[in-house]
Amino acid sequence: MKRLLSFCLIVFIALNVAACGNRREKYSSPNGENSIIVEYDAVSRPHVIYHGDVIWKYEGRGFNEEVYFEVEWVDEDTIKLIYNDESHQGKYYEEFEIDL
């Protein structure tokens, strides 16, 4: 009985870890020349992937909840990554300009 209970616990933990995996979102530039992937880790810190390479990482502490950063294309080679938590009246607003 203990083996079955241990096995069920291990399966449960493995499924929880898999469910909390990285989130990925793909964005294409207005003319379609470039595309990026924004990937979030387990604590919602984003990093930007361009041509398979990580070109930018969020250096701040993680978040307690699942958050999303908005991607705004400035031109074909530049993006703005924006975090605006409206539940705190802009107190935690962050904006990063990233050149590809």
Round the CA-based radius of gyration of the chain to a whole number and report it: 18
The model's pTM is 0.73
**Residues 65-98: pLDDT tens digits?**
888 899 999 999 999 999 987 777 767 888 999 9
Predicted confidence band at 20 (pLDDT cuts at 50, 70, 90)? low
Distance CA 37, CA 44 (A): 14
The pLDDT value recorded for residue 68 is 87
Q: Is a pLDDT exceeding 80 seen at residue 21?
A: no
Mean pLDDT, to the nearest integer, of 35-47?
Answer: 92
Closest by CA to 84, choosing from 63, 98, 70, is 70
Closest by CA to 27, choosing from 39, 44, 19, is 39
